[in-house]
Amino acid sequence: RDVIISDCYGDSDDDALTLKSTVQYPTENVTVTNCVLSSHCNALKMGTESSGGFKNIAISNCVIRPSRDEKAMGGRDEGLAGIALEIVDGGVMDGVTISNISIVGETVPIFIRLGNRGRQVTPVSEKPSTGLLRNVILSNIVATQTGNIGCSITGQPDHPVENVTLSNIRLEFAGGMDYEKTDREVPELPAQYPESVMFGHLPAYGFYCRHVDGLTFENLQVEYLAPDTRPALV
């Protein structure tokens, strides 16, 4: 708790900057600013370990760009996600603000997931129940040269993601998909390891949102480079 991270450069085959909460205590009061990040996995991530939760996290003024290493030993050459927010091992994510982010070249620019993997802190710990993911604000984000999977914001049927606002967002996708050939019936996969590519090509080229209570888009611009017959939002 009470951490400031600033003016850092990171280029990783794994996640570049990751906040975790493995024990019963929350990761809270964290500020991240003025960082340049590259990753073959996730550039900015919270999770997967989430038992203690995350509270009052502010991330701003960061650049996410392709790795200097063109080939990945793990992950994907182009990276998995620019921003990945994940609660899958219980815990509460509450009060996350991410602003003024430039993303170039990730497969998926934004991935938000409330799942139920339920991994225990220790072998004798009680299996955690589904957590909470709420009160998230993403603003002033520009992403270019991203893939054609699409972004997703997904909760569980009885545990929705709550109160997410995205404002002043411009996302450029590769496009080139046919709606009739995508997985229009997206599986729930509550216990699966959370990853931006876990659902395959989504039935929307921009955002696929399911089990979300209180979702606001303000000044959202999504576009594709190659023709794409999927809708922008589902």
The model carries a pTM of 0.96
pLDDT at 158: 96
| Number of domains present in the structure of the chain | 1
Residue 234 lies in a domain: no
Domain range for residue 177?
3-226
Residue 233 lies in a domain: no
Residue 157 lies in a domain: yes
Residue 28 lies in a domain: yes
Segment 115-140, tens digit of pLDDT: 999 888 888 888 889 999 999 999 99
pLDDT at 105: 94
Q: Looking at residue 51, which CATH number applies to its domain?
A: 2.160.20.10
Residue 231 lies in a domain: no
Segment 179-204, tens digit of pLDDT: 887 767 899 999 999 999 999 999 99
Residues in the chain: 234
In whole angstroms, give the CA distance from residue 148 to residue 58: 28
Residue 174 lies in a domain: yes
Name, in order, each residue with C-beta under 8 angstroms of 2's C-beta and a sequence gap of 6 or more.
28, 29, 30
Task: Give the three-class secondary structure for 181.
Answer: helix
Q: What is the mean pLDDT of residues 156-179?
A: 97
User: Do 83 and 109 meet the contact criterion of CB atoms below 8 Å apart?
Assistant: yes
Q: What is the DSSP string of 55-104?
A: EEEEEEEEEE---SSSS-SSS-TT-SEEEEEEE-SS-EEEEEEEEEEEEE
Residue 232 lies in a domain: no
Segment 77-110, tens digit of pLDDT: 889 999 999 999 999 999 999 999 999 999 999 9
Residue 170 lies in a domain: yes
